[in-house]
């Protein structure tokens, strides 16, 4: 999704990754990777201005837990506005993400399903996107 998004932006932008997954038993988010710079520039410049807006991309917003964790991480880093883009979301999970920071987050979702099952999977959904992307189905 990063490459596709970059082709739409008018100029090159810095890309940072915050890696999260949902622990399957507790459904709680786990951060496994974060390459946000430790310090943001203190003087106003084009580099610091870019950090005022973050575009957060996530293929699926199911329970909303990982989206909320990513939003919280970016807020703590000092981002002033977040645009969250997702291919598919559940109504409850998307609502949960939207309520995390009402004045600072805009959410764009390509398609919406009603709810999640007890495993946190969107119904009817499209299965585990991570499994599909990384060919880990059944592993």
pLDDT digits (tens, 9 = 90+) for 6-44: 888 888 888 899 999 999 899 999 999 999 887 555 545
Helices 65-77, 91-100: axis angle to 10 degrees equals 20
> What is the predicted pLDDT for the residue at 44?
52
- Compute CA distances 64 → 8, 59, 77, 90, whole Å: 26, 12, 20, 8
Task: Return the DSSP state at 118.
Answer: T
Residue 116 has pLDDT above 80, yes or no: yes
Domains defined along the chain, listed by start: 1-37+50-134 (3.40.50.2020)
Query: CA 66, CA 45: separation in Å to the nearest integer?
Result: 31
Residue 128 has pLDDT above 80, yes or no: no
Rounded percentage of the chain residues whose pLDDT exceeds 90? 51
139 CA to centre of own chain: 24
93 sits in which H/E element:
helix 91-100
> What is the predicted pLDDT for the residue at 2?
86
> What is the predicted pLDDT for the residue at 127?
67
Q: Which two tokens stand for residue 96?
A: 């949960």
């Amino acid at each position: 999704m990063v490459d596709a998004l970059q082709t739409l932006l008018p100029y090159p932008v810095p890309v940072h990754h915050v890696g999260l997954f949902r622990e399957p038993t507790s459904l709680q988010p786990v951060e496994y990777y974060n390459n946000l710079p430790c310090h943001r520039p203190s003087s106003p410049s084009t580099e610091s201005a870019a950090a005022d807006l973050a575009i957060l991309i996530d293929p699926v917003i199911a329970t909303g837990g990982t989206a909320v964790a990513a939003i919280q991480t970016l807020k703590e880093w000092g981002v002033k506005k977040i645009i969250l883009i997702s291919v598919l979301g559940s109504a409850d999970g998307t609502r949960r993400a939207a309520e995390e920071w009402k004045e600072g987050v805009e959410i764009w979702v390509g398609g919406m399903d009603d709810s999640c099952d007890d495993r946190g999977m969107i119904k009817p959904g499209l299965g585990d996107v991570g499994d599909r992307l990384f060919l880990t189905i059944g592993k």
